[in-house]
Structure 1
Amino acid sequence: MKELKEFTIPFVGLKIGKHNFDFEITKTFFEHFEYEEFNDVNVKLDVVLEKKTTLLEFTLDFKGYVNVHCDITNEPYNQEVVGDYHFVVKFGDEFNDENEDLLIIPHGSHEVNIQQYIYESIVLAMPTRRIHPGVEDGTLDSDILKKLEELSPNGKEQENASAKPETDPRWDKLKKLLTDK
């Protein structure tokens, strides 16, 4: 996959200490990864790079919303996305990104691309079940919800059946033996 240049951070000219970078993540960022589950994206990303003598520490803090479809009604809504991610970049003989919290880049490198870490952080911050807030508080007026309620089992019949438990007549005969003494 081709690297997006805007997410490549050159660190050679930076002094030892903390450096801040700000990014706006939009839907085009996810289209680059061919990820099509988001209708719209508006996420603000703050990257803190702490340069040390032998390594680089990155902290990604993001906050915003992602427009997705509800799993129940398929209605689009804005899902809030908030999170952070920390990882370390060290220098070694060859490139190695097998460890999720440690990136090893070759000696002599002068920049690091963080687009994969941004992508994974935001996608993993999404809830596994996406439910429209209107479904949870009952304010959403949707044809699909009406149809689901229409097809759901009738709760009143189940309540009446549970109020009068039916017993086996053989047990009733045995109970009568106890009271006839």
Structure 2
Amino acid sequence: MASNKEYIIPFEGLKNGKHSFEFKITTAFFEELAYSIIQGGDVKVDFQLNKKDTMLIGAFEMSGTIQKPCDRCTELMDIDIDLSHQMIYKFGENESEDENLIVLPSSAFTIDISSTMYELLTVSLPTRNVHDENECNEDMLDLIDKYVDSSEEEDTDEDEIDPRWNALKNLN
């Protein structure tokens, strides 16, 4: 992931306590990512960093819209985003298996939150993203209907049981 300097927070000079940062994620953010499933967006990020002696606690508040292709017609669609999440940054050597804990080397003096923001946006997406009824691209739906073989669905009869499975009924 290409790191954008805008999302790198130097925490070394910060005093212990809470510090607030605001970011704006636009389409340019997603264009820099190779293989991004999100095509564009306009998301406001409020990031609050609570610096302590042995760790950093980051609280993300993200709201706005992102654009992703519709799973049915492949036209871009807007998806509303409103999420909050907390990440803990600790200093150490061993990697953590906890998805909410990021281990930083003791020599670190900055954190890059760009990958965390992208991951949070990605996992907040619904499993299936489709337009509302009658909003899909009609031309694309017509093409799908033209090339999808509907005879396969008619041929498979659920009442027919494979004779090999039928033989298993006699085992009792």
| Fold agreement, TM-score > 0.5 | yes
Change (3 A) 1:44 1:139: same
Partners of 2:77 and 2:89 in 1: CA distance: 37
Change (3 A) 1:3 1:36: closer
CA shift, 1:74, in A, is 2.4
Between Structure 1 and Structure 2, whose CA radius of gyration is higher?
A: 1
Consecutive unaligned residues in structure 1, runs of 5 or more:
154-181
- Identical aligned pairs, as a percentage? 33
Cross-structure match for 1:96: 95
Cross-structure match for 1:20: 20
Change (3 A) 1:36 1:3: closer
Is residue 2:113 matched to residue 1:114?
yes
Partners of 1:131 and 1:124 in 2: CA distance: 16
Q: Matches of residues 1-181 of structure 1 in structure 2 within 5 Å?
A: 1-92=1-92, 94=93, 96=95, 98-133=97-132, 135=133, 138=134, 142-145=138-141
**1:116 partner letter:** S
CA shift, 1:36, in A, is 3.9
SS of equivalent residue, structure 1 residue 41:
strand
Partners of 1:53 and 1:21 in 2: CA distance: 20
- TM-score normalised per structure 1: 0.70
Number of corresponding residues: 149
Deviations 1:39-88 (A, max 9, x none): 32111111110112221100111111112221122232211122122111
Would the aligned equivalents of 1:95 and 1:105 in 2 still touch at CA under 8 Å?
no
Would the aligned equivalents of 1:84 and 1:121 in 2 still touch at CA under 8 Å?
no
**2:26 partner letter:** T
CA shift, 1:3, in A, is 2.7
| Pairwise CA RMSD | 2.6
SS of equivalent residue, structure 1 residue 30:
helix
Instruction: Select the structure that is richer in helix.
Output: 1
Change (3 A) 1:132 1:15: same
- TM-score normalised per structure 2: 0.73
Partners of 1:75 and 1:113 in 2: CA distance: 32
Deviations 1:120-160 (A, max 9, x none): 00111111101113x2xx46672344677899x8xxxxxxx
Deviations 1:102-132 (A, max 9, x none): 1111224221111211110011111110111
Partners of 1:88 and 1:42 in 2: CA distance: 26
Partners of 1:60 and 1:139 in 2: CA distance: 32
